[in-house]
Amino acid sequence: MHQLSAAEIRHECLAMTACKAAIKAGFELNFRQMEIILDELNKTAMPYTCPHGRPTILKFSSDELAKMFKRTGF
């Protein structure tokens, strides 16, 4: 079994704290709150994933987005 280093333990603790403090699904934000979150996210070293590696941003083409809303053929 791999023995975790102090740095790995610290990283895991910080990742867990970040996840616990994260905005949860269904929580409503106003436009200004959304802007602040995106501005802060862009200031981080790794804005594309959370500390556990899950994506924070998804990119869709116009066609993909249209299909999701059943708006094809436009």
pLDDT digits (tens, 9 = 90+) for 5-17: 999 999 899 989 9
pLDDT at 6: 94
List the domain boundaries for the chain.
Answer: 6-68
Beta bridge mates, 49: 55
Beta bridge mates, 55: 49
pLDDT at 1: 76
Report CA-CA distances (Å) from 52 to 17, 55, 56, 73. 11, 9, 11, 38
The model's pTM is 0.62
C-alpha triplet 20, 29, 56: angle, nearest 5°? 55
Write out residues in the chain with pLDDT < 70, as ranges: 73-74
CA-to-CA distance for 41 and 53, rounded, in angstroms? 14
